């Protein structure tokens, strides 16, 4: 279904556009900056830009515009801040059959190390890696979302995986 440009200027359409994408785009911002409230701020700013320029944005391209805007705002505002991630409160362990205290401790340590390594990845590698991991997105989908080629996505992903393998053992807790 194609909607004409100006529809984004109508409150009804803008609201549904907002509600459709707010979660995904906030997660995206979060992968980049690792800060929950900041990611929401970024996203609200991006939506504000879209609302202000609604007459110039093609409805079909609004989603891509939204992600691009978040990306740009991120680069302008928060790129150099330290990234800190937290795990979900009740995250399961890989091996549910082995819940010995030793195993659990080892796994907790690994999680913290992983956490550190991911935070230390370049923004480009991290966003690709987390879009793939957290949202099960295929490389093709990530490429479309970020407006880059699939080859680039694969290169960044490869770099992220290499960094994880190499660095995770050297992390001191």
Partner 1 sequence: MTCLTFEELKTMNRENDILKWFNGEITTEALKNRYPNEDFSTLEKSQFYSKQFELPQIDAQKALEDFKTRKLKKKTTKVVPLNFKSFLKIAAILIVMLGSSYVLFFNNPTSYSTKIAQIERFNLPDNSEVILNSKSQLSFNRKDWKKNRTLDLQGEAFFKVTKGEKFTVQTGVGTVQVLGTQFNVKERQDYFEVKCYEGSVSVTYASEKTILTPGKTLRIVKGEQVIVKEFNYKNPAWLVQESSFDNVPLWQVIDELEIHYDITISTKAINTSILFSGTFTHTDKNIALKSVTIPLKLSYIIDGNNVEFYNYDSH
d(Cα 107, Cα 95) in Å, to the nearest integer?
10
What track of x and - describes contact with partner 1 for positions 106 through 125 (by CB under 8 A)?
-x--xx--xx--x-------
* DSSP string of 119-148, one letter each residue: HHS-HHHHHHHHHHHHH---HHHHHHHHTS
Residues in the chain: 173
Among 2, 12, 82, 94, binds partner 1 (CB under 8 A): 94
Token couple for 48: 């504000």
Among 72, 76, 147, 158, binds partner 1 (CB under 8 A): 158
| SS3 at position 84 | coil
Residues 3-22, one symbol each (x = binds partner 1 by CB under 8 A, - = not), give: -xxx--x-----x--xx--x
CB contact at 8 A, 27 and 14: no
Q: Rank residues 107 and 144 by Cβ distance to partner 1 and give the closer one.
A: 107
User: Which residues, 64 to 93, sit near partner 1 by CB under 8 A?
Assistant: 85-89, 91-92
User: Which residues make Cβ contacts (< 8 Å) with residue 2, sequence separation at least 6?
Assistant: 59, 60
Binding residues vs partner 1 (CB under 8 A): 4-6, 9, 15, 18-19, 22-23, 26-27, 30, 36-37, 39-40, 43-44, 47-48, 51-56, 85-89, 91-92, 94, 107, 110-111, 114-115, 118, 129-130, 132-134, 136, 138-139, 154, 157-158, 161-162, 164-165, 168-169
């Amino acid at each position: 279904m194609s909607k004409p440009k100006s529809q984004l200027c109508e409150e009804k359409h803008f609201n549904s556009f907002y509600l459709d994408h707010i979660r995904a785009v906030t997660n995206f911002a979060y992968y980049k900056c690792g800060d929950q409230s900041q990611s929401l701020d970024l996203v609200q700013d991006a939506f504000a830009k879209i609302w202000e320029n609604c007459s110039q944005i093609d409805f079909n391209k609004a989603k891509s515009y939204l992600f691009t805007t978040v990306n740009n705002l991120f680069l302008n505002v928060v790129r150099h801040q330290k990234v800190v991630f937290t795990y979900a409160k009740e995250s399961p362990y890989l091996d549910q059959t082995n819940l010995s205290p030793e195993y659990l401790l080892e796994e907790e340590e690994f999680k913290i190390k992983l956490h550190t390594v991911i935070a230390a990845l370049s923004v480009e590698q991290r966003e690709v890696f987390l879009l793939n991991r957290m949202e099960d997105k295929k490389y093709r989908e990530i490429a479309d979302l970020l407006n880059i080629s699939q080859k680039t996505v694969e290169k960044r992903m490869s770099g992220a995986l290499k960094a994880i393998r190499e660095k995770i053992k050297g992390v001191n807790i």
